[in-house]
Structure 1
Amino acid sequence: MVQDSRTPDETDLRIVHALQTAPRATWHEVGRRLGVDPATAARRWQALVETGAARVTAYPSLRPWARDHCNAFIELDLEPTARDHAVRVLSTVPQIVSISIISSGRDLFLTVLAPDLATLSRVVLEQLHQLPGLRGTRTHVVTTVYGEGNHWRLDALEPPRGGRTVGRTPLPDHRPVWRGHHREVLRALTDGRSSAAEIASSTARSGSTVRRRLNEMIHGGLLSLRCEVAQSITGWPVAATFWARVPPDELDRTASALTELPEVRMCAAVTGADNLMMVLWLRSLGDIQRLETELARRLPALTLTDRAVALRAVKRMGCLLDDDRITGVVPIDPWASP
C-alpha cells in the first residue's frame, strides 16, 4: 500500500535521473556523481519507492523483441459500465505490460508483449474477447521500435535542458536469444535493482549464477532496465498518443528524427493504414497543437491522422498505478499461459 507521500525535491529528482542513466548503479556511484552521501541517496530512493513515486522495472528490450518476437498495441472499446472490471482483469495479465484509459473514441489502450503471433492471438481471442461489455478491438502489430521509454530522461542533473530522449541504441549485430534460465531471472525481477542474492533466493540458483545470467541479459541486449517515475512529478504531466502515416521510403528517417524530440517517449512502426505510432509526454494540453505545428514544419513526410490524450494510466511496464503512484508490480512474462 502506498504510504503518505511528500513532494520530491531537487535532490530526489537528481537521484531519479541518475538511475534513469544507470538503473543498477551502486549507491557509492550515485553518491559520487551527485555529490551526496551514499547512505543519503539510498535512504531518499527508498522513500521514493515506498511512496510510489519511482521504481526500477525490468522487461525485454523492445527493439530486438519486435524484430524476433511480437509487440502490439491494442485499442479496446467497451460498454461504459464494463471498463472498471476490464481494467481489474487485464492488469493481472503478464503479457499486457501497459494499460491507459484514453480519449478520442477509445476506452483502453494496451501494450502487449508476446513471443509469437499465436500467443498474441490467444491473448486477444481468449482473454480480451471474453471480457463482458466488449464492443470491439483494434490490434496494431509493431514491425520496428525506434525509441522506447527507458531512453527518456528527466535531466534534473542539467535543469535548463528539460526532459529529453537520447539517441536510439543500435540493434546488436547478433540476434539475442531468450532461454529458459533468462526467463527465470526476468520473472524474479519484480524490482530492477534487486541484488543477485535476492534474485537467487527466489530462483533456487546461486548468486554467482544469477549474476552471470543477469549480465548476459543486460549486455547481450535481451533486457531493458528503466527507472519508472510518477508522471505528475516530472514536469511533463500530459500523456498523448499520435497516429501517423509516412511513405515507406521515408519511415526510417522520419521515425529516427522523432526519437530526438524531448516529448517522444516511444516511437514504433506498426501494421495498418496508419503505419507509425508515438507516445508523448507533454508539459500542457496546449503543447499538442504546438507539437503538431512543429512536426508539420520539420517532417513534411509525416501526416498525423489521429491523436488521443491519456485520461489515466493504470499500468506502465508492469507497474500498477493508482492516482499516478506505483502501488505494485505484475512481473512481465510474455510466455505465461493465458
Structure 2
Amino acid sequence: MRDVLTPDEMDLQLVHTLQAAPRATWHEIGRSLGVDPATATRRWQGLVEAGSARVTAYPDVRLWAQDHCNAFIELDLQPTARAHAVEVLSRVPQIASISIVSSGRDLFLTVLTPDLATLSRLVLQKLQQLPGLRGTRTHVVTTVYGEGNHWRLDALSPKRRVYTPPKTGNRPVWNDHYREVLSALDDGRTPAADIAARTAKSGSTVRRRLNEMIDGGLLSLRCEVAQPITGWPVAATFWARVPPDELHRTAATLTELPEVRLCAATTGADNLVMTLWLRSLGDVQRLEAELAGKLPALTLTDRAVTLHAAKRMGCLLDEAGRITDVVPIDPWASAAPR
C-alpha cells in the first residue's frame, strides 16, 4: 500500500496543480497529470486524511491591507504559559497564523481584523486576559507585497500545469453575501452545491458570488501543504529596515526569491518583515549574505527561526507539521479567547 505520509512524485505534482488552480475540476487535474479523475481524487483524499495538504480560503491579504487591517503581533509569555496561550489563540478566527519562534519573542501572530479599533480591542482587551502574558508588540501592516498563496513546489513543468484565467480587474467589496460564502468555505474545494445547502441559497447564486470573489481578487484560495514534505523544512522570519524611497523596489526583488513566502511593509523602525522557507539552517546565513550583495539598501535588524508553527492560515498543525484541523479565518467574528 502506498504510504501517504511520504508523498511520492505524483502526490507532489498533484499538490502543485492545486496550488496553481485550487478549485480545478478533477477532470482538469487528471488531464494535467496524465491520470484518470478517480485516481487524482483518491490521491488527494489520502493527502488530506494524512494531514499533508488542504485547500483553505481567506480574504486576499494584499487587498485586505489596503482597505482593512493586517498586523503582526509578538507575545512575550512566562515559559509555563505558552502551551495554554497557543491552545486558546489557535481558536480565534482573526488570528490566521501562530508560530513559536526563537530569539526575543515567544509567539509571532498574523492577524486580520476589519479595522484598527477591532485590532485594538483584540490586543488591549482579549490578549491581556491570557495568563502569564508579559508583553505584546504590534506591527500594523501597510502593504503586503507577496504571500504564501503564490509559493509553489515546482514539481510540474509549465506545459503540464492547469490553465488559470487572469483576474478580471473588476474588484468587488466585502458585503454580507460574500461573507456568508466565506463562512461556508471551511474547505476551499467545497462544491458550490454544498455551500448552497449551508447558506440556503441557490447553486447558481453561490457560483456567481464565488466567481465574483475569486475573479475580483477578493478571495484567496491556497493549497496548504505540510512543510516537512516540501523539501523546505526550516521556517524563519527576518525583520529589516529600508529607506522609504527604496522600499517598493527592495520588496519587489525579495518576492522573486524562492525562499520568500511573505513580504510586508509595517509600521515602526523595522519597516519590512519577511517569512522564509529554507532547505537547512545553514541557509539562514547564506541568504543573509545573498541579500547583502543584492540589496545594499536593506539592513537586517533581527531574525528568528520558527521552532513550531502551531497554525498557518487557519490550519492547525501538530508537532510534525501535519494539518489536524481548520479554524476558518473570519475577521468579523467575535474574538473572545477564554
- Any conservation in 2 of the 1:30–1:38 contact (CA below 8 Å)? yes
Relative to structure 2, which stretch is displaced further, 317-326 or 258-267?
A: 317-326
Q: What is the rounded CA distance, in whole Å, between the counterparts of 1:101 and 1:258 in structure 2?
A: 24
Cα offset, 1:6, TM superposition? 2.4
1:134 aligns with 2:133: yes
Identify the residue that residue 162 of structure 2 maps to in structure 1: none
Q: Deviations over 1:183-232 (max 9, x none)?
A: 11111100000000111121111111111110010011110000000000
- Give the counterpart letter for 2:100 in structure 1: I
1:64 counterpart letter in structure 2: L
Q: For residue 5 of structure 2, what is the aligned residue in structure 1?
A: 6
Query: Are 2:14 and 1:15 equivalent residues in the alignment?
Result: yes
Residue identity in the other structure for 1:249? D
Q: Give the C-alpha shift of residue 36 in structure 1.
A: 1.2
Alignment of 1:1-338 (within 5 A): 6-158=5-157, 176-323=172-319, 324-338=321-335
1:308 shift after superposition: 0.2
Q: How many Å separate the matches in 1 of 2:230 and 2:325?
A: 20
Distance of 1:44 and 1:151 partners within structure 2: 23
Q: What is the CA distance between 1:273 and its match in structure 2?
A: 0.0
Distance in 2 between residues matched to 1:238 and 1:190, nearest whole Å: 27
What is the distance in 2 between the residues matched to 1:248 and 1:75?
A: 24
**Separation in structure 1 between the aligned mates of residue 299 and residue 54 of structure 2, nearest angstrom:** 36
Cα shift at 1:173: 6.0
Report the equivalent of 1:162: none
Q: Distance in 1 between matches of 2:270 and 2:104?
A: 16
Q: Deviations over 1:79-127 (max 9, x none)?
A: 0000011011100100001001000021100000001001111111221
Q: Is the partner of 1:126 in helix, strand or coil?
A: helix
CA distance in 2, matches of 1:93, 1:12: 32
Shift of 1:55: 0.2
AA in 2 matched with 1:264? V
Cα shift at 1:176: 3.3
Q: Give distance in 2, aligned partners of 1:187 and 1:315.
A: 18
Answer yes or no: is the 8 Å Cα contact 1:97–1:318 preserved in 2.
yes
SS at match of 1:129: helix
| C-alpha distance after superposition, 1:223-253 (max 9, x if no partner) | 0000000000000000000000000000000
CA contact (8 A) 2:54 2:225 kept: yes
The answer to whether the 8 A contact 2:171-2:218 is kept is no
Conservation of the 8 A alpha-carbon contact between 1:64 and 1:175: no
Letter matched to residue 43 of structure 1: R
Moved more, 120-129 or 62-71: 120-129
**In 2, Cα distance between the equivalents of 1:240 and 1:176?**
34
Structure 2 unaligned blocks of 5 or more: 159-165
Tell me how far apart the structure 1 counterparts of residues 140 and 171 of structure 2 sit (CA, whole Å): 20
Unaligned runs of 5+ in 1: 160-168
> In 2, Cα distance between the equivalents of 1:127 and 1:322?
25
| 1:53-96 superposed Cα distances (whole Å, 9 cap, x missing partner) | 00000000011110000000000000000001101110010000
Deviation at 1:175, TM superposition (A): 5.2
Cα deviations by residue, 1:298-324 (Å, 9 ceiling, x for unpaired): 011100000000000010000111121
Alpha-carbon distance between aligned partners in 1 of 2:249 and 2:209, rounded to the nearest angstrom:
35
Offset at 1:129?
1.1
- Taking only the aligned residue pairs, the percentage that are identical comes to 80
Contact 1:59-1:224 within 8 A present in 2 as well: yes
Q: TM-score, normalised by structure 2?
A: 0.94
Are 1:18 and 1:30, in contact at CA under 8 Å, matched by a contact in 2? yes
For 2:161, the equivalent position in structure 1 comes to none
Q: Provide closer, same or farther for how the CA distance between residues 76 and 178 of structure 1 changes in structure 2, counting only shifts above 3 A.
A: same
Please give the secondary structure, in 1, of the residue aligned with 2:129.
Answer: coil
